[in-house]
A and B are shown apart, each in its own frame.
Chain A
């Protein structure tokens, strides 16, 4: 059950992040739009973009699965183990988003993966 929750969190997070990155790269938010007096307008603009809405839905699934996981596992296990999504997302960023990933960045993602494996032991 604990690992099923981890799988749901990782899968939903990876898909949600790919969608967010794809859509935010198409139309980035400016610094001005992050000012408190423009939050409502910015949120309204974001809510009109379907990839972001779908991404938020996936993040909600991940969030509820994370809540369930916290009732079954320590915080120091639950949070780091979900870092498995870093490796999956780095591969997806290369394949789907065509990001240029240097050797150093692959090495970094590999280190994070090793860290996750150690934390899961």
Chain B
């Protein structure tokens, strides 16, 4: 019994950092997904309720950014961009991309219930295929390449 406890204590330092890294990756992934979904939602709402004529000139787009819904969407998408950047330092690109694709599904569902968009069976099947893809990738290891130490630790 005592031997078992000693063996567990020896293993603990090796196991704990791994768990911490996994939790860190999971929490940041959730944050990345939520900022993306609600950012897109606010942007879409703002764009659907704008009346400006959009062409090649960037000026109408810049003016649009300062309308409340588009501004909220853009702010959330800035948080999405930065948090995703941090996540890419901790996990593979080929892991982050499919796993965060759950956002596509959430967007499709919100598009239906909030904007009343018609979603055909093809779109629902496509959404299901994306979910299966996410689950498959989620079962793999998050990082297969050695990431560097954080800047401050160097």
CB of B145, distance to nearest CB on chain A (Å): 6
Q: Given A29-B150, A30-B150, A71-B47, verify A112-B130 contact (CB < 8 Å).
A: yes
Q: Is A37 an interface residue (CB 8 A)?
A: no
By the criterion CB–CB under 8 Å, are B127 and A80 in contact? yes
- State the CA gap A27–B92 with chains docked (Å): 14
By the criterion CB–CB under 8 Å, are B101 and A121 in contact? no
Q: Is A107 an interface residue (CB 8 A)?
A: yes
Q: Which residues on B sit within 8 Å (CB–CB) of A78?
A: 44
CB of A98, distance to nearest CB on chain B (Å): 7
Beta-carbon contacts under 8 Å, A90-113 to B: 90, 93-94, 97-102, 104-105, 107-113
By the criterion CB–CB under 8 Å, are A93 and B140 in contact? no
CB closest residue in chain B, given A92: B93
Q: Given A80-B127, A118-B125, verify A105-B107 contact (CB < 8 Å).
A: no
Q: Label chain B's interface by main secondary structure.
A: helix
Q: 17 A-B pairs, CB-CB below 8 angstroms?
A: A25-B148, A27-B154, A28-B149, A30-B151, A64-B61, A67-B47, A74-B115, A79-B107, A80-B123, A80-B130, A85-B97, A86-B101, A90-B97, A108-B137, A111-B132, A114-B126, A115-B125
CB closest residue in chain B, given A107: B136
Chain B contact patch, size range: 35 or more
- State the CA gap A70–B123 with chains docked (Å): 17
CB of B23, distance to nearest CB on chain A (Å): 10
By the criterion CB–CB under 8 Å, are A33 and B152 in contact? yes
